[in-house]
């Protein structure tokens, strides 16, 4: 019994960590309000030398390309896309596609872990997974806040096998409306989502364990 508890808690905690991280990435990939807000706060119209409406249109085209299977080639209304830029955005599209697959798999496994935890009458993996997420978040957050430029570079070197993410404003002028500050705001949003989901997992774990304990007490009383 102890081995089964350990196995469920280990697999469940690992799965919950992956689920929370993938869901937070999925959330930011489908969120436009952060960028729309940054258009004004970062004066992107002046940087890109185009109107606010055009910036929104091009950003929406980029987000649609990244989040959908079609089209296979990125085309922006107001900006040319170089060969290197096209490869980078295609690599990004594939990463987001893999994240969706991970989100689906972890969602299914999360339900399975909850089911078996119910059978064992303890759902502790929600605590362990939430604390693992928060510890991972704190370690990444400290490094990013100390030097976001370095963290940003390391992040791209880990995820991409080339340096095509180093855009030139001449060959890929779209970079003028995608400043690093915007990605920092996306990072903060991801951190916030991870924190909320982790705390929610602790709350759900507490509620479910309380419910299972009451059922256990009731069954003992009935006997």
69 CB-near residues (< 8 Å, 6+ apart): 97
Confirm if 67 and 75 have CB atoms less than 8 A apart. Answer: no
Maximum average pLDDT range among 15-19, 124-128, 140-144: 15-19
pLDDT at 214 over 90: no
| pLDDT per position as a tens digit, 86-121 | 999 999 999 999 999 999 999 999 999 988 888 877
* Residue 210 burial (C-beta neighbours within 10 Å; 0-12, 13-18, 19+): exposed
Of all residues in the chain, the percent with pLDDT exceeding 70 is 94
63 CB-near residues (< 8 Å, 6+ apart): 29, 30, 32
pLDDT at 195 over 50: yes
Q: How far apart are CA 94 and CA 166, in angstroms?
A: 18
Find the distance separating the first CA and the last CA of the chain, reported in whole Å. Answer: 23
| pLDDT per position as a tens digit, 183-192 | 999 999 999 9
Q: Tell me the pTM.
A: 0.89
Mean pLDDT along residues 31-57: 91
């Amino acid at each position: 019994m102890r081995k089964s508890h350990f196995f469920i808690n280990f697999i469940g905690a690992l799965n919950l960590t992956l689920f929370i991280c993938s869901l937070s990435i999925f959330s930011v990939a489908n969120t436009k309000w952060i960028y729309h807000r940054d258009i004004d706060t970062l004066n992107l119209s002046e940087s890109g030398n185009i109107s606010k409406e055009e910036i929104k249109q091009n950003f929406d085209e980029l987000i649609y390309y990244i989040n959908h299977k079609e089209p296979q080639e990125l085309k922006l209304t107001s900006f040319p896309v170089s060969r290197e830029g096209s490869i980078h955005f295609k690599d990004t599209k594939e990463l987001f596609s893999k994240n969706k697959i991970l989100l689906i798999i972890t969602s299914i496994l999360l339900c399975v872990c909850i089911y078996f935890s119910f059978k064992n009458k303890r759902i502790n993996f929600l605590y362990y997974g939430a604390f693992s997420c928060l510890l991972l978040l704190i370690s990444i957050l400290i490094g990013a806040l100390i030097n976001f430029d370095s963290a940003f570079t390391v992040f791209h070197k880990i995820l991409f096998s080339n340096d095509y993410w180093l855009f030139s404003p001449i060959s890929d002028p779209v970079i003028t409306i995608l400043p690093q500050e915007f990605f920092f705001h996306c990072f903060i949003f991801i951190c916030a989502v991870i924190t909320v989901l982790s705390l929610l997992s602790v709350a759900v774990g507490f509620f479910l364990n309380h419910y299972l304990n009451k059922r256990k007490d009731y069954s003992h009383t009935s006997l």
